[in-house]
A = this chain, B = another copy of it.
Amino acid sequence: MATGRTHRPATRSRGIPEATVARLPLYLRALTALSERSVPTVSSEELAAAAGVNSAKLRKDFSYLGSYGTRGVGYDVEYLVYQISRELGLTQDWPVVIVGIGNLGAALANYGGFASRGFRVAALIDADPAMAGKPVAGIPVQHTDELEKIIKDNGVSIGVIATPAGAAQPVCDRLVAAGVTSILNFAPTVLSVPDGVDVRKVDLSIELQILAFHEQRKAGEEAAGTESAAAAAVARNDSAEQGPDGDVPAVMPA
């Protein structure tokens, strides 16, 4: 995915490729697991296996951050955790609001991975007055009327939209007007936002459709008898590359 800052005119050396940024969270998760097991150092080979990528890619990714490894040894786990966290901006606290507290919104509110990594659910917002005051994941749901006030009072810059498709754009507009500049959209719609606002999209049915495409292809191959090369290809497979999101939802500058 091209994505993001395509339009940026040769910014300073600080330019970390988007594809690399998308993998940093994966590395971070693997490193955190190692850290919890008190593993002091790790080689690119080992860490790559844990993260589901190949080691050359991992080393190149890290090379954009700086030279944090030791030749002949590997990487210091704790140090790398810190460096990646800092690069991702996780050493600071990001208040987040979730709009739309249905099953999905509730799942997000309960999701532990949030709090553990710099994110704090500042508020839950829903349009249904019957929800108001009800606690979800220990946080009382507030009515949409309060949206602007909540954003401003908490200095929220990241919003999560988990509403039905129809409500997404209006909610998005209000979030942006109130000062939100990054949006994670779970509603199956294309949002339009002004320049300077990032949107990332997570779409369940799209993922399934992509799987169906590959599934269909597999079936076709079988039927087509032994198309020699194809069959062999499926058999031989070395580095079990687990696409994290290599091409996951793209960020878009505007």
Q: Which A residues form the contact surface with B (CB < 8 A)?
A: 1-12, 18-19, 21-22, 24-26, 28-30, 50-52, 87-90, 92, 94, 96, 102-104, 106-108, 110-111, 113-114, 116-119, 157-158, 160, 181-184, 188, 190-193, 195-196, 198-218, 227, 229-230, 232-238, 240-254
Contacts and interface: CB of A to CB of B under 8 A. Distances in A.
Contact of A210 (B22, B52, B207): B22
27 contacts: A3-B246, A4-B214, A6-B241, A8-B230, A24-B209, A50-B190, A51-B190, A52-B190, A88-B212, A103-B104, A103-B106, A103-B110, A108-B204, A117-B208, A182-B211, A182-B212, A184-B204, A195-B236, A201-B245, A202-B202, A206-B244, A242-B250, A243-B250, A243-B251, A244-B249, A246-B250, A248-B249
Q: Is the contact region of chain A dominated by helix, strand, or loop, or is it mixed?
A: mixed
A4 B243 contact: yes
Given A1-B246, A12-B227, 6 more contacts: A22-B247, A94-B215, A191-B242, A201-B245, A245-B247, A245-B250
A195 to B, nearest CB: 5
B7 A251 contact: no
A206 B203 CA distance: 14
Contacts of A214: 4, 182, 198, 251
Nearest to A84: B209
A3 B246 CA distance: 7
Contact of A1 (B8, B191, B216, B243): B243
A206 to B, nearest CB: 4
A242 B252 contact: yes
Contacts of A111: 204-205
A1 B3 CA distance: 12
Contacts of A232: 9
A117 B199 contact: no
Contacts of A200: 207, 210-211, 243
Give me the 6 closest cross-chain CB pairs, A-B, nearest first. Answer: A243-B250, A1-B246, A1-B247, A247-B247, A89-B216, A103-B107
A102 B176 CA distance: 31
A191 B50 CA distance: 10
